Chains A and B, each alone.
Chain A
Amino acid sequence: CDKEFTEVSPKGVIDAPSLATKEGVDLLLIGAYSMLDQQRTNITNDYYSTGDKFWYDIMSDDAHKGGDNGDLAPLFQLANHNYETNNPFIFDEWKGLYAGVNRANGVIAQAALVEGVDLTPQIAEARFLRAHFNFNLTRSWRNVPYIAPEDLNDPNKPNEGPLWPQIEEDFQFAIANLPPTQSQSGRANQWSAKAYLGKVYLYERKYAEAATLLQDVINNGPYALLKEFTDNFGEAGEAKSESVFAIQFQNDGGQSFNGNRSFLKPLAGGPLGTCCGFYQPTQDLVNAYQTDGAGLPLLDTYNQTDVKNDQGLPSFQADGVTPTPFTVHAGPLDPRLDFTVGRRDIDWNGFGRFVGAAWNRVQANGGPYATKKFQYTAKDIAAQRGKFGQFERPGIHYQIIRYADVLLMAAEALVESNGSLPTALNYVNQVRSRAKNSTYVATLPGINPTNYQIELYPNFPDVDFARKAVRMERRLELATEGHRWFDLSRYGADYYVTTINTFFKNEARTIKGLENLVSPAMPKHVVLPIPLSAIDLSNNVLKQNPEWQ
C-alpha cells in the first residue's frame, strides 16, 4: 500500500520528459526570447534589469536620473560616477543577462534530447539569443564567465576574459542555419544575425570584418529606413523594414507582463497622469542638435552655447489660468531634437504643448526636458498603453538594432578600417536624408516656429572629420535608445573620461550644484565592476575586474 500512496505526481507544472518534443523545445525557445526584457524572478526591482539599457543612458551624457536626488539613490550614484561594487542596478542587470544565457542553453540542451526531428533552426535561434546575452555581459563587464548548456547544475565558473570567440561562434552558427526571413516578426533570422555579428566586430575593433558584414546586410538584406523617423517608436514602425532585431513589448489589459517594465521613464504627471518622470535628456544632448548655417552639426562647438530652456521658470499656466511667457530657441536645430526631446512649448507626442516644470518631476534636479522616444504618442495610446498600479508598462517595441544603426555602424567600420570614405559619407547621408525628409513636429499656434535646418554632408575631407561626423550622427540619430554609454566606452577610456567630465562641467550651467554631486569620471568607468554579491555568491571564484580592485 505505501508504494502507491507515496508516489505523488507533480501538480500544475511540466516535467522535463513532457518537453522532450519539438513542441517542448519551441515552448522553451519562447521562454528564452522572453528573457530579452531581462525580467526574471529574484531581482530587486523590475527596472534595475534593463532590456532596453535605459540606465546606461543615465550613466552617459544623454540623460539625467531626474526625480528627487535621494530617490533611487543607486541610480543617482551611477549617473554621478560615484557608485560602488554593491550597486543593485549592476547586480540585477548581471542576473537578468545570465538568466537569458541559461534559458538559451536550456533550449540547446533540451533539443539534444529529442530524437528524429531536425531542430537546427531552433538551436540556431537559441544560439543567437545566447550570443546577444553574452555580448551584453561582455560589453558591460568585459571579464565574464562562460556558461555552457552542461553547466546547468554547476554554473560557478571563473571570469577569465571577454567572450568574443564564443559570441562570434554563436552568431556564425546562426548565420549558417537561420532562414533569411521568418514568418514571425520577433524571431532572429540570418540577416539580423549578420547585422549583430557586425556590431560585435565593431566592439572588438575588427573594423574590416565589420565593414564587410554590415555592407552585406545593407546591400543584400531586406531592410530599409522608414519614411518617418518617429515611426521607429510607435505602432506604425513595429516589425517593419527598419526593425532588424527588437524586443517586441506588448501591452495587454491586465498587468502587462509583456510590456516594458522599465517604468521610470514616462512623464511625471503630464497629459496621462503617468509616473515617474525619471530619465530626462540633458542640456548637453539638446545642444548637440544645434546646426550651423549649412544645416550641419557643430561638431566641436555645440556646447559653447545652450539651446534656450525654461529651467527655473514656472510652467505655462502654473496656476491653471495665467500663461507664463517663454520664447523658444530661435537658432537652427536638427529636426530630430523634437523627435527625441520634449521641451517647453513644443508639441509633446501629439498631446499638445509641453508645459514645462509641471511635467518634470523635479526640474531643479533633472532639468527641463523629457524623452519622446518610447513614450506614448496620442495616436498610439489605445494600442500601446499598459499599466501595473501606478507604473506604466508600454507595449512599444525596443529596437535592439534598427537599420539606421546598421548604416552608421557600417560607416564607422569603414572610417576606422581606412575603407571608402565616400561610402561612409553615403551611409551617414542616408540617415540624415531620412531625418530631413521626415514630417517635422508642427509648431503650435501662437508659438514662434522652430528653425529646423538639416542638410547632408557634402563630403568627408579626412578620416578625423569622418570619425567625428559619424560619432555625432550616432548620437543625434540614436539618442536615448540605450547606445550612448557603450559607444563612449568603446571609443576609449580617454575619450570617455574627457567627454563625461566636460559634460559634468557644462551641464552645471543648467543643473545648479551638479558639480558638487558628481565624482570625476575615471578610466575604470568604461567597464562595470563585477557585482560584489556575484563574487560573494561565487565563493570568490569570480574575480573583480582589475580596474575595480
Chain B
Amino acid sequence: FLLISTLTFAQQSISGTVIGETKEPLIGVSIVVKGTTSGSVTDANGNFTLQASPTDVLVFSYIGYASQEVPVGARSTFAITLAPDTQVLQEMLVVGYTTQSKKLATGSMSQVKTEEALAVPISNAGEALQGRAAGVTVVAGGQPGSTPVIRVRGFGSTNNNGPLYIIDGMQTTDGSVLAQINPNDIASMNVLKDASAAIYGARASNGVIIISTKTGKLNAKPVVSLNTYYGFQEASNIPELLNSQQLGEVFWQSYRNDGVTPSHPQYGSGPNPVVPEYIRGNPTLPYNALTNRLTRARTGNDWLDEIFQKGVLQNYDLSVQGGGQSSRYLLSLGYQNREGVQLNTGFERFATRLNSEIDATDHIRFGEHLSFAYSDQLAQNQVQGAVGNSPLIPNYDEGGNFAGAGPSGAAGLNNLVTPLANLERGKDNFNRNFRFIGDAYVEVDFFKNFVAKSSIGVNFNNNFAHAVVRKSPEASEPVTTTALNEIQSNTSSWVWTNTLRYNKQLGDHNINLLAGAEAVNESLRLSNVRIENFLLEDADYLILGTGSNAPNIAESRWEQNTLYSYFFNADYAFKGKYLASASIRRDKTSRFANGNNTGVFPSGSIGWIVSEENFMKGLPAISLLKLRASYGRLGNQSIPIPNPYINIYQANQQYSFYSIQNGTISTGTMLSTLGNPNLRWETSIQKNIGLDLGFLNNDATFSIDVYNKATKDMIISSPLPSTATDAIAPYINAGKVTNKGFDMSLGYGNFSKTASALKWDLSLNLSAYRNKLVSLNDANPKAFLSGANFYNGIITRNSSGQPISYYYGRDVIGIFQSAEEVAAAPTQGFASPAAGVGRFRYRDVDGNGIINDADRTNLGNPHPDFTYGLNANFAYKRFNLTMFFQGSQGNEIYNFLKVYTDFGTFFNGNRSVRVLDAWTETNRDATLPKVGTGVKNSESAPNSYYVEDGSYLRLKNLQVGYNFEVPPLGVKNARVYLQGTNLFTITKYTGIDPETGATGGSDLTFGVDAGVFPIARAYTLGVNFSF
C-alpha cells in the first residue's frame, strides 16, 4: 500500500520562506507534512525545502506563534507569514496528569507568565509566583537560598498550609525542593486553586503547583541560549538606633525617672552622661590579650550598618534545545552565586538538566526529565543582635581582636557577643544539598484513542550541614572550647504513576477520560553529631574525628510514609461550549491507623462558553464570555511526624538517661510523641464560581473567581496544657476553618494592533480572602490555641470566630498624664497614683475596674485585606521597559523587636530612636511611656503598641532592555538589560521589612516579626544571547 501510494502521488520538491509579522525571517520553524513525521525546519534566513505531494497539508509551527496549515496543491514555492499567538486563552495548561486547553478548562487556575516572571533575577522558583498568580500569597525571604512561604487561598488549617508541588513527574509537599530548581529551566507554572486539584486527593487541599520544565521541539535545529546577569544587592530601610551619647542620655533620664542618682559603669556619675574614652582595660598599660584587652569606646557603633554589605549577584545559564525527526531535547547548565546583604551569608547553586523525549516508534514514546543540583547556603542572621548591642562597643579592640565586655571585664555593656564577631565566626559554615530529581516515562498509543503512560519520579536529596561554634574570648560569656555540629540527612522518595487516557471527538461531543494508579514512598534518615574540644580552630582542620571529647548524637531520625491511590477523571465538552468535568480519587495512606487511612475525594465542575452562542455573535466586542463553577472535596495529610497514630517512646541521651548508679549513665526511655489512633484526613469542601471575559479580540481580559473553602477535621497539633507530659503533642482533628475570597485579574494590551510600533500591556491581579476559625472545639466554645511562646509570653491566639493567629494582649489607649487621671482610671497596680504618670494606660476590657491579665483582647491579625500585583510592559522597536509592583494591604505586623529597642528589657542594650520621644513632663504628647531602669506596668508584655500596619507597596522590578543581533556571530537574538529589584517600598511599618513571614515556622504564630532577614534592593545588568 505504501509503495502504491508513493507511486500514485509523486512527491515533488517544494521550498519557501517563513517570516514574522514584522517581515523578519523566522529561524527554526517546524514544517511537518500533516499526518506524517516527515518535515523540515527553516534555516537562518527563514528558508526551507522539503518533499511533499500535492495532496499533502503542511503544518507550520513555531514557539509563540499560531500554527498554520497550508495545502500544497500545485504550488512549489511558499511565502508564509506566521502571526504571533496572542490568543492567551488558547494556551494548553498542564493540569493533573494531563494537559487541557485553557479555553475548555472549568477549574480555577492561575498561570504565571514565566517569560515575564523569570526575567527578574530570582533565585527560587517560588518567588515567580509573588504578585503574579492571583490567589497565591507569597512571602519571600531575604536570606539567600531561603524558601518563600507560599499559601494558596489563605490558611486552610492551623497545621501545615503548604501546597503540593508537582515538578514534571515528581511530587512533593516539601517546599524546600524549589531551592534546587533552576528557574530558567521552567516552561510553565500552573496553580490549581480549587476543586480542580481534587485529582490529587489527600494532599490537594492547600492547592497544587504544577511546574513543567522546558523541552525541545521535533524537527527544530538546536537553539543555544546564554543568559547571564551580574549585579549587587544592598539592604534598605535600615531602622535608626541611638548613638552612644543618646543612649547615655536615655540612661540618665531612666535613672531620674526612677528617682535614682544617675551612675553608670561606662558613663560615669556626673550630671550628664559622658561617653568614656575606653570601655575596657587600663590605658596606662600595654594591650594584653589575656590581662588588658584595651578597648576604645565608639561614639556610636551602628551595628545594623556594620552587619550589612553590598552582595554580588551572578547568574549564568547555558542551554541548548532542539529536536530531530523522532526526538527532542533540552540540555541546560546553570550557575548562580548570590552574596547576601549580611556579611558572610550567601547561596551558590550549580544545576544541570537533561530533558528529552524519543519516539521509539510511531506509537511508543520514551522520555525523561533529569535534574541534578548542588547548592550551598550560608545562612546567618544577626538583625536581632545588631539592634540590641551597645553602641559603645567598637568592632575591634586595640589589639585588633573582636571587642567585647569580657567575662569579668566591663560592666554596663550587656552580654551579647557582637553581631560582627558572630557573622565572622560562622563564615566557614555550610549547608550543602546534592539533589537529584527527575522522572522517566514511557507512553504508548493504542486503539487510536488510547494513551497509556507509566512514569517513575524520584527525589533524592543529600543534605550536609556543618556548623562550628568558635571560641569567643572577648565575650562576657565566652566560649572556651570549639564545638562542631554536623548534620547529614538523606531523603529518598519515589512516585510511580500509571495512567490510561482516552480522547475522542464524536460529532459535537469531545470526551477525555483518564484513569490511573499511583504509589508514593517518601523516606528520610538524619543524624546530627556534635563534638567538642578541638586542638585547632582552622577551618581546614575541623572534622568530627579531630575533636577530643566523646561525640554526642544530638538527633537521629528515620521516617517513612507511603500513599497508594487510584483516580479517575472525565472531561466533556459539547459543541465546544458546554463543558463538564468530574474526578474522583481514592487514597490510602500509611499516616493513619487502619480504618481511618482510606479516603475518597470527588469533585465536579461545569462551564459555559457563552460567547460561542449565536445570540452573542451580535456583540463582536465581546470575544470571550465564559462562566465556570466547581465543587469538590480535598484532603490534607501533611504532618511532620511519620506515625501520628501511635504513642512513640524514645531512648534519649539528653532527656531520658540518668546516672542511677553513681559514676555511670543508664539508658532510660520516655514518651516522646503522643499518638492519636483516631486521626484522619483534614478535608475541605471547596466551591468556586468564575467568570472569564475577553473584549476587543482579547486585547482586554478580565477574570474573577469567587470561592469558599471550608475545612473541617482540621489537623491540629495544639500546644498541650502545661500540666501535660513532655511529649510532642498529638495531632488531632478539630475545628473548622473557612476561607472566603476572590481572585481577580485584569489585563489590557494593544495586542491586536500589530502595526503599532509601540506595544504595551498592563495587567493587574488582586487576591483577597477572609480567614475565620469557625469553631475550634464544639464541646468548648471558649477553647483557644496559643502560638509560640516568646520572651515575654505568648503573642498569638487562635479561637472561634476569629482569624488564625490574631495578636492577643493589652490594649494601650494612651499615656497617663497626671496622678488625678491615674486615680480616676481602673486600677493598674501602681504603688501610688503618681507612679502611674507617664505610663501606658490600658483599656479595661472586662470593665471590672482592675487591669490585669483578664484585660487582654484581640489586637489585630496578619491577614491582608488584599494583596496585589501590577505589571506593565512597553516595547518600542528594540527597546522595552517592564515594571512590576507588588503589595499587601491591611495586614498587621507584630513588631516583636520593640521588646528590646523600645523598652529597658535589656537595660544596657541599644534602643531605637523612638525612645527619644518617650514621655517626660515636657514631652507629654509622646508615643512611648517614661523610660526606666527596668520594665514597668507590664509594658513589654504583648500589647497594642507592638501592632503596626504592615501594608506596603513595593516596586519589585524595573527593567529596561534593548534587543539586537550580531550577524557576524550568527546571533539573531541578543538582549541587554538593566534591572532594579525592590527599588522602593511605601510602608508605614517601622521594622526592617514589612515582608515578614512566620517566625518560629508555625502558622499559629504568623505575622510576628522577630528580626527578619530583610529583602534586598538589587541592581543587575543582564545579557542574553541565543543562536
Contact = CB atoms under 8 A, between A and B. Distances in A.
B411 A362 contact: yes
Contacts of B714: none
Contact of B414 (A71, A82, A248, A254): A71
Interface stretch (A23-31, A55-63, A475-483): A23-31
B408 A360 contact: yes
Given A6-B597, A68-B412, A257-B552, A98 B646 contact: no
Give the one of B405, B530, B722 with max A CB within 10 A. B722
Contacts of A534: 721-723
Interface in A1-43: 1-3, 5-8, 10-16, 18-19, 24, 27-36, 39-42
The majority secondary structure among interface residues of chain A is loop
A390 interface: yes
A531 B411 CA distance: 32
Contacts of A157: 723
Contacts of A513: 260-261, 263
B265 A362 contact: yes
B789 A533 contact: yes
A187 interface: yes
B794 A70 contact: no
B512 interface: no
Nearest to A246: B662
A474 to B, nearest CB: 26
B476 interface: yes
Contacts of A258: 657-659, 665
Nearest to A240: B662
Nearest to B284: A319
A67 B415 CA distance: 9
B288 A538 contact: no
A268 interface: yes
B933 A255 contact: no
Contacts of B483: 389
A33 B672 CA distance: 16
Contact of B649 (A7, A19, A187): A19
The binding surface of chain B is classed by DSSP as loop
Contacts of B728: 41
B212 interface: no
Interface stretch (B557-565, B964-972, B1006-1014): B557-565
A96 to B, nearest CB: 8
A153 interface: yes
A152 to B, nearest CB: 6
B290 to A, nearest CB: 8
Interface string B932-950: 0111001001000000000
B670 A28 contact: yes
A16 B405 CA distance: 51
Nearest to A95: B722
B568 to A, nearest CB: 16
A185 B662 contact: yes
A301 interface: no
Contacts of B905: 70, 73
Interface in B636-650: 642-643, 646-650
Interface stretch (B48-56, B435-443, B752-760, B776-784): B776-784
A540 B261 CA distance: 43
Nearest to B594: A7
Between A69, A152, A184, the greatest number of chain B beta carbons within 10 A of the residue's beta carbon is seen for A69
B295 to A, nearest CB: 16
Given A254-B552, A361-B476, A533-B789, A539 B726 contact: no
Contacts of B37: none
B792 interface: yes
A155 interface: yes
A380 B393 CA distance: 38
Contacts of A313: none
A532 B720 contact: no
Contacts of B8: none
B661 A277 contact: no
B608 interface: no
Interface in B823-871: 831, 852-853
A384 B657 CA distance: 18
A30 B789 contact: no
A35 B412 CA distance: 37
A259 B209 CA distance: 49
Contact of A238 (B412, B662, B797, B933): B662
A541 B671 CA distance: 25
A186 B662 CA distance: 7
Contacts of B469: 389
A46 to B, nearest CB: 10
Contacts of A33: 658, 660, 668
A291 interface: no
Interface stretch (A99-107, A281-289, A442-450): A99-107
Interface stretch (B114-122, B366-374, B497-505, B906-914): B906-914
A359 B558 CA distance: 47
Contacts of A517: 933-934
A85 interface: yes
Most chain B beta carbons < 10 A, residue from A185, A362, A534: A362
Interface string A64-95: 00011111010011001010111010010011
B17 to A, nearest CB: 58
B853 A254 contact: no
Nearest to A273: B480
A41 B793 contact: no
A8 B429 CA distance: 36
A215 interface: no
A69 B646 CA distance: 47
Interface in B664-698: 664-674
A61 to B, nearest CB: 20
A115 to B, nearest CB: 20
B547 to A, nearest CB: 10
B725 A102 contact: yes
A328 interface: no
A365 B588 CA distance: 64
A252 B564 contact: no
A535 interface: yes
B897 to A, nearest CB: 16
A463 interface: no
A252 B665 CA distance: 9
Interface in B447-484: 469, 472, 475-481, 483
A277 B291 contact: no
Contact of A69 (B481, B671, B784, B933): B933
B809 to A, nearest CB: 10
B669 A539 contact: no
A153 B726 CA distance: 12
B921 to A, nearest CB: 20
Nearest to A243: B662
A537 B521 CA distance: 37
Interface string B253-275: 00000111101010000000000
B782 A185 contact: no
A377 to B, nearest CB: 17
Given A34-B656, A533-B722, 15 more contacts: A5-B562, A18-B649, A68-B413, A94-B722, A102-B726, A103-B670, A157-B723, A238-B662, A273-B407, A318-B282, A319-B291, A387-B533, A389-B479, A537-B722, A541-B721
30 contacts: A1-B564, A10-B643, A15-B648, A19-B649, A28-B668, A31-B658, A31-B668, A32-B668, A33-B658, A34-B655, A40-B655, A68-B412, A69-B908, A70-B904, A91-B722, A155-B725, A156-B723, A239-B662, A250-B662, A252-B665, A254-B531, A254-B549, A257-B654, A319-B282, A319-B291, A320-B291, A361-B407, A387-B481, A387-B533, A549-B852
The 3 A-B residue pairs with the shortest CB-CB distance, nearest first, are: A30-B668, A102-B725, A253-B550
Interface of B: 258-261, 263, 265, 282, 285, 288, 290-292, 405-408, 411-415, 469, 472, 475-481, 483, 519, 521, 530-533, 549-552, 554, 556-564, 588-590, 597, 642-643, 646-651, 653-674, 719-726, 728, 730, 780, 782-784, 786, 789, 791-794, 797, 831, 852-853, 904-909, 933-935, 938, 941
